Amino acid sequence: MQPDLRPSPFPTVPMDPDVLDAMLDQAEADLGAGRLDAARQVLEQVLQQDPQQFDALHLLGVIALQRKDFAKGAELIEQALAMDPDVDMAQVNLGAARLEMKQPEKALACFDKAISLAPDYVEAHFGRGCALQAMSQWPQAVQSFAQVLALQPGHVEALASQGAALYGWQHYDEAIVALDKALALQPQHVAALINRGYALSELQRYEEALASYDQVILLKVERPAVYALRGDALLALGRMEYALASFDRALTLQPDQFAVWANRGNALLKLRRLNEAAASFDKALSYQPQHSDVQSNLAGAWREAGRLQEALTLCDRVLQSHPHHAGAWQNKGNALMDQGRLTEAREAFAKASSLQPDNAEARWSQGWVATLQGDWATGLPLLEWRWKKAHIASAKRAFIQPQWDGQADLRGRTILLHAEQGLGDTIQFCRYVTQVAALGARVVLEVQPPLVHLMSSLDGVAQIVAQGQALPAFDTHCPLMSLPMAFKTTPDTVPTVPAYLTADPALVQRMANRLGANVKQRVGLVWSGNAMHRDDHNRSMPLATLLDALPQGPQFYVLQKDIRDSDMATLRARHDVILLEDALQDFDATAALVAQMDVVISVDTSIAHLAGALGKPVWLLLAKMPDWRWLLQRHDTPWYPATRLFRQITAGQWADPLRDVGQALTARAMH
């Protein structure tokens, strides 16, 4: 193609200064009013007459920037600066273009040049801070934004950006201060709200972080990252259903988010929706197939679903490439434990602990296996790591008084013994009150409100307080479940008495009158516990499964308060199973009913502990891998002399222990 040699219709001669000024003024007016096309046309007319006109090139570059054509904008502004590099505004605009083009080093040079020309130029200092921030030079960025604020204290963007830089610098408290100042000036500043949520989450102030994210959503800002971060905060707060909804919204807006699929899997895992959790982890791995954390979490999901060998295989695969992955060692230990390979499990937990000395889950798991094996000297101190586990740490009491560890002299001192977990735990470990009192202490016992009256029958208690009530003065304290460690208890030294609690005599008499003469053998039944308990799937069974294994003849009584809908249907069809709902509304009435039983057949719930503490014969149905306190293999327990243990032979299968219970109940009726 031949070059076009026709003369330009606009001769390149200098324009009349007045005409030039008028055209530039018109272009700036159009530009300020957002009439970009009109401004462009005027400026192009100027350049047709004078291709080297600085202001026209510069302003055309600004128009290109506003149209998001950053490369074109930078090219035009550079042409202008080639003629006169000492124009501070043009240097700032070129720096802005370079920032948008992901060239922060070049942008920084532009802003530094502008500052050398105009030391108090606010936007040059602001741009410099943004360039440094893009380069992760956090301290220098913070200083640049501070310079902006020294020149213009109410600069909202500088406050918001300073907060973001402080967050990047991991100065989270200072970041929140800066962001709060920005939000005080502009409450709907989306970036400040989001970064405030980031910083609060890092400080584990998840409720406040959640409030920040919710404010963004109220502004009708539909950003996948906001829903993802909101889900993370809800996950940390244990609100799994809500976290799941947030993750799902994030994925609706942007499906290809690896981290959201991974955290969605974590939420589903907590909800025990195991197949869905595994599918979510698989989806995350489709984006990052070798991600060791997600592979480890998938192994955890498989383990909880009973796919133990697959879980072990995946853990080993992770450990082959990442031998120092503490989470994979932890999950391997869990799977080995479920297989009954306890020595190997203990070694895996020890490896996880050595890799992460502050890993509370690994330390506690070591202790759990050790105590289950009967090595309480090793295990009980390790169980104290429970206070650093996520779902228990929030329950730790912040007393200024020291915790008694069994060493200090208690004579003449007041000790607070306080419940910490379930009702059954309180009933089991309150037996130590008598021993503590025997050391010369005045014992104040704080328990859950439903147990207050029942605990009044306990020897050695000077005062009983319900949780939530004001506490009296005390010198030292100890959680009830730490008392076995304080007394250096072993399986051979458990403080064993036939009964250490007594049901209210008046209620017992009233219940005896209500039930009448004991014509048939009375058998109390507990087949399921709290459905929200993390191990409920292992310990509970349908009522029909239990009843099908029991012989005809005894009179059966329901001893549990919460009954699932499917079990209620079974109850209605059985006339030999009596449900006295009013007797199950509080522990005192339940204790009076338990006192009328000849034997209690129960899974591992608080009622089993209640019956044991009352000295009643208890036949306790245990999962293949029971709680540590029931030890292994033996059919008796040092905790309750009248209790017999019936253990699963195969994990998840109740047929064997239920057969033995049925035979024992038949034999009992014959004596």
Report the share of the chain in percent with pLDDT over 90: 78
Mean local confidence (pLDDT), 147-173: 95
What is residue 374's three-state secondary structure?
coil
Least confident of 48-57, 206-215, 318-327, 616-625: 48-57
* Residue 27: pLDDT band with limits 50, 70, 90: low
Q: Which of these, 445, 490, 492, 435, lies nearest to 465 by C-alpha position?
A: 445
**CATH T-level assignment (fold) for domain 290-393:** 1.25.40
Chain-centroid distance of CA 292 in Å reads: 20
- Asked if the model's pLDDT at residue 1 lies above 50, the reply is no
Q: What average pLDDT does the structure give for the chain? A: 91
Most confident of 279-293, 389-403, 507-521: 279-293
Residue matched to tokens 């004596």: 671
* Residue 74: pLDDT band with limits 50, 70, 90: confident
Q: How far apart are CA 197 and CA 214, in angstroms?
A: 10
**Number of residues that make up the chain:** 671
* Residue 250: pLDDT band with limits 50, 70, 90: very high
* Residue 68: pLDDT band with limits 50, 70, 90: confident
- Asked if the model's pLDDT at residue 263 lies above 90, the reply is yes
Which residues, listed in sequence order, are joined to residue 408 by a DSSP beta bridge? none
**Angle, nearest 10°, between helix axes 308-321 and 292-304?**
160
- Asked if the model's pLDDT at residue 20 lies above 80, the reply is no
Mean local confidence (pLDDT), 76-84: 84
- Asked if the model's pLDDT at residue 6 lies above 50, the reply is no
- Asked if the model's pLDDT at residue 3 lies above 60, the reply is no
Q: Which of these, 311, 306, 224, 297, lies nearest to 263 by C-alpha position?
A: 297
Confidence at residue 14, expressed as pLDDT on a 0 to 100 scale: 56
On whether the pTM is more than 0.75, the answer is: yes
- Asked if the model's pLDDT at residue 491 lies above 60, the reply is yes
Mean local confidence (pLDDT), 622-649: 96
Least confident of 27-36, 74-83, 530-539, 651-660: 27-36
Confidence at residue 531, expressed as pLDDT on a 0 to 100 scale: 73
Confidence at residue 331, expressed as pLDDT on a 0 to 100 scale: 97
| Other beta carbons within 10 Å of 44 | 13
Q: How far apart are CA 568 and CA 560, in angstroms?
A: 12
Least confident of 242-251, 324-333, 433-442, 582-591: 582-591
Q: Which of these, 630, 622, 621, lies nearest to 661 by C-alpha position?
A: 621
Confidence at residue 138, expressed as pLDDT on a 0 to 100 scale: 94
What DSSP assignment string belongs to 594-626? Answer: HTT-SEEEEESSHHHHHHHHTT--EEEEE-SS-
Q: How far apart are CA 314 and CA 323, in angstroms?
A: 13
Alpha carbons within 13 angstroms on the beta-carbon side of residue 624 total: 16
Q: How far apart are CA 503 and CA 456, in angstroms?
A: 10
What is residue 447's three-state secondary structure?
strand
Q: How far apart are CA 370 and CA 102, in angstroms?
A: 56
Question: For residue range 390-432, what is the model confidence (pLDDT) as tens digits?
Answer: 778 878 899 999 999 999 999 999 999 999 999 999 999 999 9
* Residue 136: pLDDT band with limits 50, 70, 90: very high
Sheet holding 461-466, edge to edge: 461-466, 442-447, 414-418, 476-479
Mean local confidence (pLDDT), 513-530: 91
Confidence at residue 369, expressed as pLDDT on a 0 to 100 scale: 97
Mean local confidence (pLDDT), 91-107: 92
- The 10 Å CB-count burial string (b at 16+, else e) for 15-37 is beeeebeebbeebbebbeeeeee
Confidence at residue 2, expressed as pLDDT on a 0 to 100 scale: 28
Residue 347: DSSP 8-state? H
Mean local confidence (pLDDT), 167-184: 96
Residue matched to tokens 């589903």: 268
Confidence at residue 79, expressed as pLDDT on a 0 to 100 scale: 84
Q: Which of these, 442, 450, 650, 658, lies nearest to 561 by C-alpha position?
A: 450
Q: How far apart are CA 541 and CA 531, in angstroms?
A: 11
Residue matched to tokens 């370079």: 98
* Residue 119: pLDDT band with limits 50, 70, 90: very high
Q: Which amino acid is at 271?
A: L
Question: For residue range 427-476, what is the model confidence (pLDDT) as tens digits?
Answer: 999 999 999 999 999 999 999 999 999 999 999 999 999 999 999 999 99
- Asked if the model's pLDDT at residue 4 lies above 60, the reply is no
* Helix, strand and coil percent figures for the chain, each rounded to 5: 60, 5, 35
Residue 150: DSSP 8-state? H
Burial (CB count within 10 angstroms: exposed 0-12, middle 13-18, buried 19+), residue 143: middle
**CATH T-level assignment (fold) for domain 505-669:** Rossmann fold (3.40.50)
Confidence at residue 5, expressed as pLDDT on a 0 to 100 scale: 27
Confidence at residue 315, expressed as pLDDT on a 0 to 100 scale: 97
Confidence at residue 60, expressed as pLDDT on a 0 to 100 scale: 78
Mean local confidence (pLDDT), 225-242: 94
* Residue 18: pLDDT band with limits 50, 70, 90: low
Are 580 and 594 spatial neighbours (Cβ–Cβ below 8 Å)?
no
* Residue 15: pLDDT band with limits 50, 70, 90: low
Per the structure block, which two tokens stand in for 530? 């709290």
